[in-house]
Homo-oligomer: A and B are copies of this chain.
Amino acid sequence: MRSYGQYCAVAKALDLVGDRWTLLIVRELLLRPCRYGELQDGLPGIATNLLAERLRALEEDGLVARDEPGCYRLTERGQQLGAVVRELTRWGALLMAEKDSSDAFRSRWLEIPLELMFGGNDPGRPEVEVEIRAGDEVLTLNSRAGEVKIRRGVAVSPELVLTAPPDTMIGMLSGGLDKKAALEQGASILGDFRHLARLRRRDWLEDPLGPALSTSRR
């Protein structure tokens, strides 16, 4: 990418990750190291030459490393982009209200939003296991000792099993849809739906630095 030629941290950052697809590649690698084919599967729509080109640029810039040929992972510096991707996720969450019928979906794309909604430590939370069935894979949310873990795979002994189309699932998880509305939209709910609200952070949509820093002066 052509440099912006500005001595500014935002411009310098975008010189490295401002290219089309680049931050989506980082999104994929934030979850786990990926093979080339896994990246293609997690990035529907990307041209194979662009994926190769972006990976090469990311490697040159020290954000991505490949252990064996064909297995890509983020370097520590690349991992630090997690904060950027999380804020983009938070900001983009409101845009998920309606799903375009032609939009692709992968269940792994829920993992970062789930971290935002349920992450962090909160000793008062109940200990429950929730199985989340939407899209291509099953996710499991596990609350233990105040910590919530999200992982791929089925639950062992879930207190709640949710099955729904992607947009309905996101509505349930985020709290935008109540049980009745979700059922009307084709969700299947096994167990006590109220567990979700007890686990969810109420501040997950808020700027982590608080409004003090975020409001523009004048």
A65-94 residues at the B interface, CB under 8 angstroms = 74, 79-93
- The quantity of this chain's copies bound in the complex is 2
A209 to chain B, nearest CB (A): 6
Is A105's beta carbon under 8 Å from chain B? yes
Q: Interface residues of A toward B: which range?
A: 35 or more
User: A138 to nearest B CB, angstroms?
Assistant: 16
The answer to whether B84 touches A87 (Cβ under 8 A) is: yes
Asked if A156 CB lies within 8 Å of chain B CBs, one says no
Partner of A13, one of B9, B14, B95, B218: B95
The interface bits of chain A over 1-35 (1 if a CB of B lies within 8 angstroms of the residue's CB, else 0) are 00111111111111110101001100100111100
Interface pairs A-B: 7 shortest CB-CB: A13-B92, A9-B92, A7-B103, A12-B95, A208-B208, A8-B109, A7-B105
Write the residues of chain A forming the contact surface with B, with a CB cutoff of 8 angstroms. 3-16, 18, 20, 23-24, 27, 30-33, 44-45, 74, 79-93, 95-96, 99-100, 102-106, 109, 112-113, 115-116, 119-121, 149, 151, 166-167, 207-209, 212-218
